[in-house]
Chain A
Amino acid sequence: MKEEIIYSMSSPFRDDFRIRGFRFGEGEKTLAVVGSLRGDEVQQLHTCAQLVKTLQQIEKRKGLTDGVEILVIPSANPFSMNIGKRFWAMDGTDINRMFPGYRLGETTQRIADALFKALQGYQYGVQMASSYVAGCYMPHVKLLHTGYEDIQTAGLFGLPYVCVRQPLPFDTTLLNYNWQIWETKAYSLYGGSNSTLDMQVSREVQSAVVRFMERVGLTVADCRPSAGYRPVVFDESELVCIKAPVSGIFFAFRKAGDMVNEGDLLAHIIHPYKGTVEAVITAPAGGRLFFSSDKFLALQSAPLFKICTA
């Protein structure tokens, strides 16, 4: 393993801002993995840290295929994480919406530019990501539909779901989108919630990356990861979305990962002052709860659950 500083920048008053990378093997740029771009992506950071540890072990027992190089960047935004903010502390901008970046531009454009230069040219790119719709997600691989997305290989992670999203204009500045345009096969891995650490989900996502490496031939066969799932592939718009009919205190009985039948009780929305049940949320269809809100207050028409019926 080689540790290096991918990018550093002085700050007006804090310690220097640094992005650290961990490189394994030597040769073709084969796989790049990037963790938290936002300050609340603790799960994503942890998953990458575990991957660094695992890769070190694999390397030690000569388990990496000759001639491949793997880069892991656990965090591109320690500054925000250290002060408990999701976005760039100075101006609230989102590094993950600054790609492909601009070397002469604003601070977060420069960070995105430096990061993107380090991540470019790899055959495969994996991002541990989080959604702008906050909540708890089933572990899945997400691909933006750009015309370059490779759904076949996305299945090699062996995560239970592969979700394809039709990009909106504001998605065109995401890392995943630009990685694809610059000819890296890019996959965003989701699972769990922000600002929390679910060890089981983290292990599942980390194993998925190890499984993927084995299946595309980056490791010699002695790693023997479990088979994983044969994934269900769907378009994001096919999820059955259940929205809050009224606002109030959200009390969920079921959460992401649960199998439900049509008509099952999912949640109550309770009057904030009187304690009465204002809405009874039931499943409109059977399937797996792919997403559940992790908020305790529900806003009228906010998504509470998404069911995958496939």
Chain B
Amino acid sequence: MGQAAGLSKLLRKIRWEMDAFSWSQLIIVLASFTAFLIVPLGLVVVRSFYSSSGGFSFYWLQTILTDPFYFPLRLKLLNRFPFISLEGIRGSLYEVVKYQTAGGEETIVLLTGWDMGVIPNSLVVATFTTLFSTVLGFTLAFIFAKYRFPGSEVLRIVSLIPLLSTPFVGAIGLKKMIVADGVLNVLFYDMLHLLPFKIEITGLPAVILVQTLLFYPIVMLNSYTALISVDPTLEEQAINMGASGFRLFRTVTLPLATPGVEAGALLVFILSLEDLGTPIVFKGTTAEKVLTFQIFNRIFTPAGLISQEATTLAMILLVISGLVFVGVRRYVSLKKYAMLSKGGTWRPKRRKLSPVVTLLVYIFILGVLFFATLPHIGVTLLAFAKQWGPTLLPSSFTLDNFIAVLSDEEASRCIMNSLVYSSIATLFMVVLGVSAAYLVSRKKSLPGIGALDLLVTIPIAVPGIAVATGLFLTYLGTPLSPTISGAPLLIASYTVRKIPFTVRAVFSGLEQTDKTLDEVAWTVGASRTRTFFSIVMPMILLNVLAGGMLSFIYSMSEVSTGIVVGDANHRDAPMTWKMYDMLFHGLAGGTFQPAALGFLLMTLQFIFIVGANLLLRKRATALIGV
């Protein structure tokens, strides 16, 4: 009786809240996500437990977990005591190579890192990247949030530059800096004689370095927002009660900022795990020995099917990031995001620094910024370089790389493909994203809305290569098959993967417009549909535009699905595949032409992100943050 009454009340509530228009919004969102995210990821999981004959089996999981190439940890019994042994760990942290040159003997210290097997490698890289990014990002955020010094605003903005980093660009640019005859050695060894030997960073350590420089702004943004959202009166109170210095920091400031820092750190962990672009650039070294690269590398069987091994690896990657996401989840939902980005309502108190400390702060920040912008400087120089030997700067500059890229038939076709796919995907993202954001913002009291919120924000934490694998598993051999046309899967993948940017921008716009503005329209006779189009949409138009721009540009730079589809179907490949292809299969030009492509993409990204943020002004501080 009580249950029946509860159920009929629930049905009445649903009928009350959901008109035909809301239903159609909900259904298109659910249908798209089911078809292009849930089913594909489900298939990844299910297929990884198929035996070759089609039945349920742990064969592949077992094969992978017992292969030292993937997983060298073994549980052993020694005199009946269990202990963990490591088998098949290869390499050493560094190697010293000496060779003769005209000027005598030269020593290079190669920082290569151990190879611990693919799965531990991925986790170790993600752990170190997270650690370094967090320390770096939080320190910067703390300085910018708590202290005032000349130029601090400008420096704060500049330190966000890595967010503009396009796939490959960071890695290509930085690689040119850190190899044996790279810019850093030229500068510090050859010219300044500050080093007793050359240092080359390569393999997994290089991945960690690149990723740290790429991702620290995410922690920085989240920490900064959290720090300036801390009610300054709380700190004042603590000071009045006698807390000061480190104690104040440890007992008051840090705990209050922790949720923001954690959110950023966990996101970095996932982004590091799922990054495919960086390992690809360092192909040929231990950087290959990470999950994403291995999945990518063996996704197709010689027969052009999706390999079980790759599927199982994708499942493992998916499970690991899923577990981490359970931790992030509390923070990345739209509601939490809105609260985070609403921070900054306080006028944060910023202390002035003594001249000496100011100097130290400058040295620290400029040092960080030097490294953080190295990739961008590197890629820019490469893009305009005619030749670049072991010297600080290219020996001569040219526009030939751009001309070559733009006159290359395949390259321009790929650029065109990317533009077309991203535009169409943006259209979908706007329709779906606005629908989802509207439902989450305006129908909070409906049961299940939390799940919808989760569904449209979770793609941030889903590894792209797992989505790509899933899409292939689901659609290979169907009319949507990428072998027929690359467009459907690429557009679908862009849409589900990059929609969080649109959803967030639109959601924050909706949260800033009072619900009574909708309601008053109903009272004067406008149906909900009419209200949506004539009242709600005009008020959030800027947010929709900004969100669409962000989603567009992040679609342009999508890597995982892009290069997998591109490999399967060159004709319909996007720009990111072309960059990848030129890096490794290109003929003339070496890294110059992919750098030119990267430079184009980077410029486009710069324009779009700055544009989107100008549109929204102060309305959304953390918008570009992932």
Decide whether A and B assemble into one complex: no
B residues at A contact (CB < 8 Å): none
A residues at B contact (CB < 8 Å): none
